Amino acid sequence: MAKILYYDASAGISGDMNLGALVELGVDFGYLCAELEKLNLHGEFKLVRKNVLKNGIAATKIDVVPLKSQPHARSYANIRQILESSNLSQSCKQRAGAIFRTVAEAEAKVHGTQIERVHFHEIGAIDSIADVTGAAICFEYLFENLGVSRVLSSKIELGGGVAKCDHGELSVPAPAVCEILKGVPISLGRANFEMTTPTGAAILKACADEFADNASFKIEKIGYGAGDKDAADFANVLRVMLCETNEERGEGDERNLSARSGCDEVCKQILISTSIDDMDAESFAFACEILRENGALDVFSRSIFMKKGRMGFELNALCRKQDAQNLKDLIFTHTTAIGVREVEVAKTELKRELVRVQTKFGEIGLKISGNGQAQKIKPEFDECKAAALAHGTTIERVRKEALEIYDETRKTKG
């Protein structure tokens, strides 16, 4: 028997609703507060917990209360630095980082800018930092203490009407929510207010293994997290259930929190392939770029010989199960393919972490894979490129500087 978390998002999801539901489900509130102190934000906020009734449903409401004046906006780089310099476990940093990156990528796409140039307003506020990091802390607690191995979700209700934000009034769902939830089953219009926030959308997009309304399981425990709104005909609560399934947990079923988190060594993914011999190279490259921007974990191709000796391309896209249908639709839309092949594969990867070093060219991130003699160290290319352009130097010089400082730091700590 395997244990799963099942999210009933028929009343939407926000960061505070998620915290309330997971605390009611069994996460120790004192533990959550103590772990959040590891962000080292020097008493900028506190969590307040209370029991409330929502249309007759008893639920837990958790509010993040600011204790100091807050900056108007925080950059994605600043938030990333807060996480990396914290005393949280590496898995929490990675999980929270994956959620924030999900929002950052969506905001960058919506505003037509690069991810490193994104400045957050709503998501940069202290309550969102606490909500996202708190979600990562709660997941780790449930995985380690209650034996949870997978996270499933129903389709997500987004609501309707108009929402006010830093950019003015926007129709619900907000552009960032739409971008985040590409390829995810949703519903609209249950209420005339925003039912799913960017934070809530990102938590499920980054952390849910599968979206399925017809899941089969046995319920062990239920947690209800209260939202801020009141509706006339339903309770504005997020319901999360701790469940048992009959699926045996095998080596290939290990937790795959996020394709970008690097938290696990083995995970299941979907490989979509098709053969193309009637498409020009420029259009083919454009199609590959679109797949990468819409959830593909990897896109690769190779030259092949097809029938009658024609040269062609084999296009391959690797993705999570919940993104497969969207990617197949994109392949049919942007290529000349009239059929695709789809298989489930097990991917084994080295554990990874991201560390940051301060160089004379600015702060540079390095991806560390594996450990011991198998350790691989790679400076982030986009950051090295930006630093090289800004300082009129070469990418190689920036890379060398970052690696030398990392080696010096490691020797000092050793």
| Tens digits of residue pLDDT in 36-90 | 999 999 889 999 999 999 999 999 999 999 988 776 677 888 888 899 899 998 8
Q: Is the pLDDT confidence value at 241 over 90?
A: yes
User: Distance between CA atoms of 395 and 402, rounded to whole angstroms?
Assistant: 11
Q: What is the DSSP string of 121-169?
A: STTTSHHHHHHHHHHHHHHHHHHHHS-EEEEEE--EE-B-SEEEETTEE
Q: Considering the chain, what is the average pLDDT of its residues? A: 86
Least confident of 128-142, 306-320, 389-403: 306-320
Average pLDDT over residues 170-196: 92
Give the containing element (helix H, strand E) for 60. strand 57-66
pLDDT at 126: 87
Output the pLDDT for position 374.
Answer: 66
Distance CA 329, CA 54 (A): 40
pLDDT, average across residues 8-28:
96
Q: What confidence tier does 301 reach under pLDDT thresholds 50, 70, 90?
A: very high
Higher pLDDT, 1 or 320: 320
What's the pLDDT at 156? 97
Say if residue 213's pLDDT is above 50: yes
pLDDT of residue 248: 47
Reported as a single tens digit per residue, the pLDDT across 120-137 is 655 557 888 999 999 999
Find how far residue 49's CA is from the centre of its chain.
26
Residues 6+ apart with CB under 8 A from 142: 5, 22, 25, 26, 27, 148, 242
Distance CA 335, CA 315 (A): 10
Neighbours of 89 (CB within 10 A): 15
pLDDT for 354: 74
Residue that wins the pLDDT comparison between 83 and 348: 83
Task: Please determine, for residue 262, whether its predicted confidence score (pLDDT) is greater than 70.
Answer: no
Two tokens, residue 26: 């069994």
Which CATH architecture best describes the domain 266-348?
2-Layer Sandwich (3.30)
The arithmetic mean of pLDDT across residues 258-271, rounded, is: 55
User: What's the distance, Cα to Cα, between the start and end of the chain in Å?
Assistant: 43
Q: DSSP secondary structure string, 244-303? A: EES----GGG-----TTT---SEEEEEEEEEEESSS-HHHHHHHHHHHHHTT-SEEEEEE
In the prediction, which pLDDT does 101 show? 86
Q: Is the pLDDT of residue 21 over 90?
A: yes
Q: Beta strands 2-8 and 148-153: pairing type?
A: parallel
Q: What confidence tier does 264 reach under pLDDT thresholds 50, 70, 90?
A: very low
**In the structure, what pLDDT confidence band is assigned to residue 220 with cuts at 50, 70 and 90?**
very high
Predicted confidence band of residue 297 (pLDDT cuts 50, 70, 90): confident
Q: For residues 168 and 83, which has the higher predicted lDDT (pLDDT)? A: 83
User: In this structure, which long-range contacts are made by residues 111-116, counting pairs with CB atoms below 8 Å and at least 24 apart in sequence?
Assistant: 114/382, 115/76, 116/76, 116/77, 116/382, 116/383, 116/386
pLDDT of residue 60: 97
Q: Range with the lowest mean pLDDT among 34-38, 250-254, 298-302? A: 250-254
Residue 314 has pLDDT above 80, yes or no: yes
Pairwise CA distance, residues 190 & 156, whole Å: 11
Band (pLDDT 50/70/90 cuts) for residue 256 is very low
Give the closest residue to 62 by CA, choosing from 19, 4, 120: 19
Per the DSSP assignment, residues forming a β-bridge with 275 are: 314
Stretch among 92-101, 160-169, 187-196 having the lowest mean pLDDT? 160-169
275 or 250, greater pLDDT = 275
For residue 309, give every residue at least 6 positions away whose Cβ sits within 8 Å of its Cβ, in sequence order, or none: none
What is residue 336's predicted lDDT score, i.e. its pLDDT? 93
173, 189, 99, 169: which is closest to 140 by C-alpha?
Answer: 99
pLDDT band at 373 (very low <50, low <70, confident <90, very high): low
What pLDDT digit, counting tens, does each position of 266-285 carry?
567 899 999 998 888 889 99
Residue 183: pLDDT over 50: yes
Q: Per-residue confidence at 318, pLDDT binned at 50, 70, 90?
A: very high
Domain map (residue ranges) of the chain: 2-252, 266-348, 354-413
Task: Please choose, from the candidates 213, 217, 211, the residue with its C-alpha nearest in 3D space to the C-alpha of residue 246.
Answer: 217
